[in-house]
Amino acid sequence: MTSPADTSTATAPRPGEVLGTWHFSFTVRDIDASVAFYRDLLGMELIHQQDQDNEYTRALVGFPDASLRIAQLAVPGEPRGLSGHHLELVEYVVPRGAPYGPERNRPGASHLAFCVADARATHERLVAAGVRFVSPPQAIASGVNTGGYTCYFLDPDDITLELVQPPPRRLADAAGRPE
């Protein structure tokens, strides 16, 4: 795929072609608590918040009585796609659902990884704020990210999140400078 700014090789999309990622979404128990977590602790920017209590939403989600609260967040400084946000949080006011649980090995489980410059410092800051971690940052000892650090942690709904500190060479490449 070419970027929208690259018009020299741009071609019209083919019917049915995936153009990009719109957003990632998590269903949460309490939208206000989740917005506070992602905005205040992780530093995401709240782009938009709204209630959705309408026919098209009910048809979309497949619940004839659905009423949702939605929040859209973005990582500050990251390029945004067509939607203008990266993460969508959804609270089903009606119908309420049972919690999924933190089991990362269940089919359908997902996680969202955040890139950080210093996983150990971020871990310390979040632990001090009461965030629950699966483990402290682990040195990545094999694979493409050897030399970096990573760890899993949980949001207020036990959704698995990850901190990834890329190895110095990858951070330097991303910044466009030599190591």
What b/e string do you get for 94-115 counting C-beta neighbours within 10 Å, with b at 16 or more? eeeeeeeebeeeeeeeeebebb
In this structure, what token pair is assigned to residue 65? 């009585």
Give yes or no on whether 16-98 and 99-179 have one common fold.
yes
Residue 160 has pLDDT above 70, yes or no: yes
Q: What are phi and psi of 36, to 5 degrees?
A: -60, -40
Interval 32-84: pLDDT, tens: 999 999 999 999 999 999 999 999 999 999 999 999 999 999 999 999 888 99
Q: How far is CA 133 from CA 24, 75, 126, 160, in A?
A: 22, 21, 9, 9
d(CA 4, CA 23): 18
CATH class of 99-179: alpha beta
CATH class of 16-98: alpha beta
Interval 106-127: pLDDT, tens: 988 999 999 999 999 999 999 9
What is residue 177's predicted lDDT score, i.e. its pLDDT? 64
Q: Where are the domains of the chain?
A: 16-98, 99-179
Query: pTM for the whole thing?
Result: 0.87
Contact in structure between 108 and 48 (CB atoms under 8 Å): no
Q: Which amino acid is at 157?
A: D
